[in-house]
Every structure is written in structure tokens, then in C-alpha cells.
Amino acid sequence: MYKFPDGFLWGTSTSGPQSEGVEPGDGKGMSNWDYWFQEAPEKFHNGVGPGRTSTFYKNYKEDIDFLEQTGHTTFRTSIQWSRLIPEGVGEVNQQAVEFYRDVFERINAKGIKLMMNLYHFDLPYALQEKGGWENKETVYAFRDFAATCFELFGDLVDTWFTFNEPIVPVEAGYLGDFHYPAKHDFKAAIQVGYNTQLASSMAVEACHRLNPDHRISVILNLTPAYPKSDSPEDKKAARIAELFQAKSFLDPSVKGEYPEELVQIVKDANALPEYTDEELDIIKNNTVDFLGVNYYQPLRVQAPSHTGDIDVALGLENYFDNYIMPGRKINPHRGWEIYEQGIYDIAMDIKENYDNIEWILTENGMGVEGEEKFKVDGMIQDDYRIEFIQNHLKELHRAIQDGANCHGYMLWTFIDCWSWLNAYKNRYGLVELDLETQEKTMKKSGYWFKELSENNGF
């Protein structure tokens, strides 16, 4: 039996833009995703946009009942900035205030610990038009949005997150094509990363100032990077990959400063962001109270095939290449490697290098395409998901035995939800959603998760 410490939290994570649904309306403004879908619907799997999801915005009362049925003791979602403050700055949408207050009250009434995130890849389009995260104005707008949330909802939420996986919009939107504005600009990527960190630190400051007993953190996908071989070149590539993808937000968030090695690499590429000493002080003085950690798959890297001078048009390929490990275990549906030990390795890194700060596993999960085919007598028999969770929990349990300061496990996700360009391709939920009828049905894993929570282990 794998028993977890008393009070260990069990739950799921989702986000506002992925679950609320409904086209802009009811006072909601346009987000970067609403805009992108309007401009280029063909980019989205089967042409399904952010308006089509479980429509939590309309059906939240029924959805919240599923939290109980699946044994949640904690739950995370996010406030949509473009719903609360449609233009990004200025007027607050009162319908949004009523909606979020009612949601939070109902979750609190069930005795479920509510964790609230402020930014899950969704920027009001009015700010995007002015340069988005490349522009410092967005940083100040986020600080004000965060402060508005602390003031409006502080009596109902005491555990906050500033950003979910802040490295993802940097990579996917400024070095790749998966997030708007889909630019390829290394210098802009560095500025966006820095501005996002500054915004996060400013929100931490506002939270502690307005509600001193509240706790706030950031959710980071601390993907470990493993080198292809023991050669110094491959090891260096792995070290740099980890600096960019994990430490670039982990160090300033927890230690208040960037790793020197990373700063030097960025300096050598002539890509240092615009910053002031006063901003660096804000980052230094406003570290997080605990950490949210997402883990899906490891990064396998090798020395870059590019040699010679840094080519800024290339971005991270200057420093490392990805590598597919032969014989790796994968989730055949999503194509992602399954490597449970990654959780243990992250836990030991936090223990050894980050003062064993308290953390929660805020996302881990298995996306499956065409899940209907696993349906027997009206219920999806997702034994593969149960096995996936169990195998990851074994590594988390081992880490806790070895001193990891982890206080909870949150699966991605609760009810099947919309996922950016992948839309409804991969289903992750404990509860199945029929997109056409809006019918929701517990999967086998939903019943199993309740037992897991009640037994505090398996």
C-alpha cells in the first residue's frame, strides 16, 4: 500500500479559458485565443475554438457536483483576465465578479480547498495589440489585474498562483508556432520571459501587501533535461536546456535571482532584456511561498548540430537538439514519453538546491485520442489512466519517503477540456464530456480517484 502523509491534497487542475467556454459575451472581452481562432480557425484541431468546451460558465453548478463525486479535496482553475477586465485595464465586468464569487462560494461550501491561478496563457487582446508581453505596460496591467482579484476574491481564496507554465508562451509564441503571436524572435522571447517574471513578482508583492496571511506561488513545468550520453558536449547541452526551460523561472521565483550562467549565455547572444535595478529588486524581494510543479514528460537532449557563432534566428537550437531515446516508453496517443522517475528527480532537485521549499504537484496526466473506443456499457474504461497515475504516484511516494516536501497531487484534468491548438484531440478528464450533447459521464478513473483520495493512497 502506498500511503501518503496526513492531510495530503488530492484534486485536479483546469483553467478558465479551457473550461468556461462561451464566445466573448456576458461582458467578456476578447482574449488572444479568441482572436487567433477568429483569424485562423484552420489551425485548431477540427476547427474547434475556445467557445466550445464544457461551458463551465453556464453549467458550473452541475460541474461542481462532480468535484465531490470524484473525491476532490482541492481544485485549481483560473480567472480569465479578459472576462474580469475586458480591455485588460480599466473597467471591471460585474457579471464576471458575480460568476466567480458564486463559483468560489460553492466550492468552499463543499470543503474543497480552492487554488486560484491568475494567468493560464490567456491575454486580453486589447493588450496583445499593444505588443502584449513584449511591452512593459502589460506587466503593470497584470499587477493591477492581480491586485483587483486579491481585493475582490480575497475572502474566498487564500491560495493563489500568478502564472501557469510561464515558459510555454515564451517558447510556443516567440520561438515556435503554437501560441499567438507565433513569432520567431529570440530577443523578443527573452524580453517576454523577463517581463512575465517581473509581473509574477509584482503580483506576489501585491498579494502579501493586501492579504498578508495569503499564500502565493507560480506553477512551473520543471521538465528535467537528460543528456543523450556522458560526453561533455551532451551534458553541457542538457545543462543549458534546463537553464532555459526550468531554471529561468524557478531561480528568480524561489531565490529572487537569475542563474549567473544563464545571464552570461543571454549576454553572449546580445539578447539581454531591457531592465532596471529597481525591477531586479522587486524580483529579489518577492519570492514565492511554495511551488506548483507540473510534470508530463522529460526532455532528452544532445549537443546541437549547429556550430559556430550564435544565430539568433535559430533560438534554442543554438544550444541543444532534442533527441528521441530508443526504447522509450510513450503514451501512443499524445506521443509524449512516459518517464515516471522525472518526478523523483525534480523532487530531489528542489530538496537539494531550493531549500526543500514546500510544493504541490499541480499537473500530471494522460491525454488520449479517440477515447470513446474504450467505452463499455456507457463508461470509458480508462485503466491505462489509472495505471499512469499509480506509476507516477509510486515515484512521488518514494520522493516523499526520501524527504521531498510535497503536499498534494493534482491530475490534469477534471472534465475533458479544450486544449489550445489541440482543441479536443486529447482527452485528459476523470469525467467524459460529449461535446455535442454536453452530457458528462464519470470515467472509471473518476470512481478510482475518489477511492484514492478517501484512502489517502492506493
Residue among 203, 60, 83 nearest 143 (CA): 203
Query: Residue from 173, 367, 429, 446 that binds ligand BG6 (CB under 6 A)?
Result: 367
Question: Quick check: 419 binds ligand BG6 (CB under 6 A)?
Answer: yes
Residue among 321, 42, 15, 268 nearest 164 (CA): 15
Query: Residue from 162, 164, 200, 302 that binds ligand BG6 (CB under 6 A)?
Result: 164
Residue among 299, 244, 233, 235 nearest 271 (CA): 244
Residue among 423, 448, 409, 368 nearest 178 (CA): 423
What part of residues 179-238 is at the interface with ligand BG6 (CB under 6 A)?
none
Rg (CA), the chain: 21
Whichever of 236 and 425 has its CB closer to ligand BG6, that residue is: 425
Please state the separation of Cα 342 from the chain's center in Å.
17
Single out the segment in contact with ligand BG6 by CB under 6 A; choices: 279-287, 310-318, 392-400, 418-426. Answer: 418-426
Cβ at position 308, least distance to ligand BG6 in Å: 34
Residue among 20, 52, 51 nearest 35 (CA): 51
**Closest residue (Cβ) to ligand BG6?**
419
- At position 395, the amino acid (one-letter code) is E
What part of residues 274-313 is at the interface with ligand BG6 (CB under 6 A)?
294
Whichever of 14 and 93 has its CB closer to ligand BG6, that residue is: 14
Query: Residue from 136, 179, 300, 334 that binds ligand BG6 (CB under 6 A)?
Result: 334
Active site residue 363: yes
Cβ at position 161, least distance to ligand BG6 in Å: 11
Helices (H), 123-175: 125-128, 136-153, 167-174
Query: Residue from 412, 414, 424, 449 that binds ligand BG6 (CB under 6 A)?
Result: 412
Single out the segment in contact with ligand BG6 by CB under 6 A; choices: 36-44, 320-328, 349-357, 419-427. Answer: 419-427
Question: Quick check: 53 binds ligand BG6 (CB under 6 A)?
Answer: no
Beta carbons of 92 and 84 less than 8 angstroms apart:
yes
- Which residue has 489512466 as its cell numbers? 385
Query: Residue from 135, 211, 422, 456 that binds ligand BG6 (CB under 6 A)?
Result: 422
Cβ at position 328, least distance to ligand BG6 in Å: 17
Query: Residue from 20, 134, 165, 416 that binds ligand BG6 (CB under 6 A)?
Result: 165
Q: How do strand 159-164 and strand 431-433 relate by DSSP bridges?
A: unpaired
Active site residue 165: yes
- How many Å apart are CA 22 and CA 441, to the nearest integer? 21
Question: Quick check: 426 binds ligand BG6 (CB under 6 A)?
Answer: yes
Cβ at position 363, least distance to ligand BG6 in Å: 6
- Point out the catalytic residue in the list 340, 363, 395, 432: 363
176 Cβ contact list (under 8 Å, min separation 6): 182, 184
What part of residues 10-49 is at the interface with ligand BG6 (CB under 6 A)?
15, 18
Residue 58 corresponds to which cell in the numbers above? 453556464
Total residues found in the chain within this entry: 458
Cβ at position 209, least distance to ligand BG6 in Å: 28
Question: Quick check: 249 binds ligand BG6 (CB under 6 A)?
Answer: no
Residue 432 corresponds to which cell in the numbers above? 467524459
- How many Å apart are CA 318 and CA 307, to the nearest integer? 7
Quick check: helix, strand or coil at residue 149?
Answer: helix
Q: How many residues bind ligand BG6 (CB under 6 A)?
A: 12
- How many Å apart are CA 285 and CA 271, to the nearest integer? 25
Q: How do strand 9-13 and strand 426-427 relate by DSSP bridges?
A: unpaired
- Point out the catalytic residue in the list 20, 165, 242, 395: 165
Whichever of 205 and 382 has its CB closer to ligand BG6, that residue is: 382
Interface contacts to ligand BG6, rule CB under 6 A: 15, 18, 164-165, 294, 334, 363, 367, 412, 419, 422, 426
Which positions are annotated as active-site residues? Answer: 165, 363
